[in-house]
Amino acid sequence: MPVRVVETSSPSQVSGITPGSNTPPPCTLLSVGQGFSGTQNVSNSQKDEAWKVNVQIQGIDLDHGYLCGTMEALNVPMADTPVVTFWEGEIVDTKNYTFFTGKWGATTEDDIKHWTQFPSFSPLVGKVEVDGGKFLDLSNYPYIFMRWKEQYFVNVGTDCGLTIAGFYYVCFSCSDGSINGFYYDPNSSPFQKLELKSTNDGRSGFSFSSYELQNSQKRASFKIQAAKLPAGVELPKEEPKFNAPFLGFTKTAEIWNSRACMIGLIGTFIVELILNKGILQIIGVDIGKGLDIPL
Amino acid sequence: MPASSPSSRRTRSEELIARLNSVQTPSEAKLKDLRDLKNQIIGNRTKKLDFLNLGAMPCIVSILAFVVSSMHSEGGAGQELNELIAIQAAAAIGSFACGLEFGVKAVLEVGAFAILMSLLSHPNEKVVDAGARTLKLIYQSKLAPKFEFVKEKNMGFLLSLLSSKNENVTGLGANIITHSCQTSMEQQALSDAGVITKLVSLLEGSLSQREASLESLSYVMKENPETVTKFVGPQNGRPVNVVTELIKDKYPRTRLLACTCLIIIRNTCTSYLQDAGIKTGLVLALLELLDDPGQVGDDAPFVLSSLIAEKEDLQMIAFDAKVVDKLCNHLETGPFQAKRLQGIFLALADMCSELECCRDRALSLEALSYIKDALEHDSADIRTAACIFLRNLSRSVKNLSAGHFTDATVTSPMVQLLCDSCTSVQIAALGAISNTVVNFTAHKSIFMQCGGLKQLVQLSKSMDSAIRVNAIWALRNLAFLVNNRCKEEILLELTTPTLTSLIYDPEASVQEQAFALVRNLIDVPQDSVKYVFAEDGLLLHAVGRQLHSTAKVEVLIQGMYILSNLASGNEIHKEAAMDQLFPQSTDSRLQIAAVWALVNLTFPNSPGACGRVIKLRNAGKVSQLKTMVNDPCLDVKLRARMAVAQSMMFIDA
């Protein structure tokens, strides 16, 4: 397959990372528009159920360690339609957020208890127990840890008998896009598990859409540019060359002036022929006397 | 000029002018008339215009010219009277010029400028004072002639003005600088001549000297790091401390000018004034100035914008100081004159550009309803500012997802603004629409019903590149995750030839957005990819050609994702993607996109995968992938591993 080398003036750049930072690397499988589906185990005093769950990422802002999206739960017993919630996530990037939650009723013991449920967390446990992992270098770690908190119900009322009071501890695997999570809510059964895999929506491959939100552009300085040509207009292949005439003598002017002159002369003769008088006589000049200068 | 008119009735004003014009009127009477005229016109705009139309200006100037020349030639007794006349005449001229552009024009047309300048060198203090005051008023208008600093004689003159003991004369010097200092060369020339030191000494003078000095210092330091360093540098930063103290001065205008000065220093040289105390002090000072009912309150929001624009830390400080609340409060207590309203919208827009907390607060304070009203305002500046505010508010994904920006009461006027007569309004509206159409629903019915799609397509054919790029950006965001019917509508309206011409557009940013639009359109390959093959594969051909010729990385990335998305389809699609060019680069983003394409091409369970893998191996792609397995970028590494693993399945078999 033909290949072409592209010059890039800037060094190898990945958006969202400042060189030398310890934040987790961006991963294309965790980008806007990406979908995941799987199950969530829901256990209450009566029984254990597994709801089918679809998640879609809607927004991601690595600089602020923020992401958000929707979660759709199917075959929920008390609901007629799938229940959709909107959630916001915190990425544990050691810059904006650490492994310690510090809110939502979760103590540091709860945090450690839940994070250790993920096998990929074990190498990090030592440093995290000390200070939440503030100085960990996650820039090459193939797992991204997050907390997801549902904010509101999108399509059902709050009286549907379901709760969104708790939050999920989430581990995302960069290599295959799989997501594992544990729901934490002091008033619910502990360690309800969320297991999702990256979906292809029936395609044979991965597909990526994107959007880009506009922000303040710099009050721009003006750049003069030629306007785009309207449709259908083509520029000529060659610019016409203009040679300035020598002393004002152009071929066309010469020809027409000569023609006018000749026509004038012949015209004068014809007038003389018809009127039988000299042209000077006709216009009233006295002839025969020359210039009549008194000397 | 009115001579004795044939009709018997003349107004008193006409008589006054006639008397002033007449050579028979004695000087004392002229003096009395001048004083009378001056008293009549002070603060009275109608009278000023009346008198100007009666030819007052040439009349007064000729009197002034006459007394000036007599003062030079005669001596003795007549001098005192001449001086008094000169003072009154200058004062009258000044009054005409004060706040009235028509008056300033009249003064300049009659050539009074030079005469007034000559008054500055008169021995009598009062005459100098009158001349200086008048010139100061003239220099407050943009119509005043530009002062050429680079001429040595002029610089010397300016320095003499600044060194004078007379308050009005020094004020004039400062006003000249404020008016005429525009380029960095002029700033440098002023700095080299020692003007900054003189202005610094004026900071400790009277109120008007302080204010004039602050204003001119801002103009000398604007965007010029050298002059800033010169100002801050000597005397252990004492000048900066003086200005910092002035933020708490009792006069509002002084406070505002001091804030402006400090903000210019901060923005020009990022090493100065970065401590938290200064930042908070500036925010609080400006917060208070927002309440001022006069001109200061009109300008304060703009100064606030210059402080916080693109600076997240300051936006946070301002949020904590409840700036958003105050600005929204002002919106509620309106209506305002246009300038203040525009300033408030722009300041709010800057506050909401990065911080979600600011956007949430503004929305909870009914910001959207103020925006809706402003979208139909008479002033183009306000319409633009409201659109900019809406654009930044709609950067909140949470609120976009909740659909807060998609109801018809907002969408319909926005679509109307796309046909606005003013280009800046159109561009701002396009910016806001680009964001609000991202609402994660599969159908954009309200927007389409309001005729938004038609407008966007129309604007994407504009001759102005700024409009084109914003229109196609909006279309790209519109096409994000929409259903097939919506995509069909978009393509039907846009048409493949237009899209192709956008791909070939001379502007790289337009090419990038056009590619991104195609990428979004073929995201769900089953149905929508047929457009790529429509009209003999016109679109695909264009994509391929442009990938070949462009060098801009952002365009290439989008192009690669088009191929990658194409390759996630069925066999025909995969084969079509194989034929296109795969650029090589060191940019990780481009590498990731290229590797995804390879992952899709070698996807197991597709019948032609084996053949494709062989082709790729022969083209050296597989070995290239193997080197990428050790790339420093994690995403590239993992994808390359995925692609290699898939390829090896077929190679080994």
What pLDDT score does A234 carry? 72
Q: A211 burial class (0-12, 13-18, 19+ CB within 10 angstroms)?
A: buried
pLDDT at A12 over 70: no
What pLDDT score does A20 carry? 56
Crossing angle of the two packed helices B338-351 and B367-374, in degrees rounded to 10:
140
B305-316 pLDDT per residue, tens: 999 999 999 999
Which of B85, B70, B81 minimizes the C-alpha distance to B34? B85
pTM beyond 0.90: no
Nearest-angstrom CA–CA distance, A253 and A259: 10
Q: What is the mean pLDDT of chain B?
A: 87
Bigger pLDDT: B231 or B26? B231
Contact B374, B382 (CB under 8 A): yes
Lowest-pLDDT range of A143-152, B426-435, B533-542: B533-542
What pLDDT score does B274 carry? 86
Q: Does B305 touch chain A (CB under 8 A)?
A: no
Work out the pLDDT band at A11, boundaries 50, 70, 90. Answer: very low
Lowest-pLDDT range of A50-64, A261-275, B604-618: B604-618
Which residue of A56, A203, A225 is in closest CB contact with B465?
A225
What pLDDT score does B384 carry? 95
What pLDDT score does B581 carry? 63
Q: Is the link from the previous residue into B335 a cis peptide, with omega within 30 of 0?
A: yes
Q: What is the mean pLDDT of chain A?
A: 83
Lowest-pLDDT range of A150-154, B260-264, B483-487: B483-487
Q: What is the 3-state secondary structure (H, E, C) of B161-176?
A: HHCCCCHHHHHHHHHH
What pLDDT score does B415 carry? 94
Determine the average pLDDT of the residues in B382-392: 95
Determine the average pLDDT of the residues in B176-194: 89
CA distance A165 to chain B (A): 18
**Contact residues, chain B, for A5 at CB < 8 Å:** 583-585
Determine the average pLDDT of the residues in B26-48: 85
Mutate to test the interface with A, among B634, B636, B637 (most CBs of A within 10 A): B634
What pLDDT score does B165 carry? 86
Q: Cα B615 to the chain's mean position, in Å?
A: 53
A38-85 pLDDT per residue, tens: 998 877 666 677 889 999 999 999 999 999 999 999 888 777 888 899
- Please indicate whether, in this complex, the C-beta atoms of A216 and B350 are within 8 angstroms of each other: yes
Q: Cα A215 to the chain's mean position, in Å?
A: 11
**Contact residues, chain B, for A230 at CB < 8 Å:** 463
Q: Does B575 touch chain A (CB under 8 A)?
A: no
How much of chain B exceeds pLDDT 90, in percent? 37
B469-515 pLDDT per residue, tens: 999 999 999 999 888 888 888 988 998 889 999 999 988 999 999 99
Q: What is the 3-state secondary structure (H, E, C) of B325-350?
A: HHHHHHHHHCCCCHHHHHHHHHHHHH
Number of Cβ pairs < 8 A linking chain A and chain B: 194
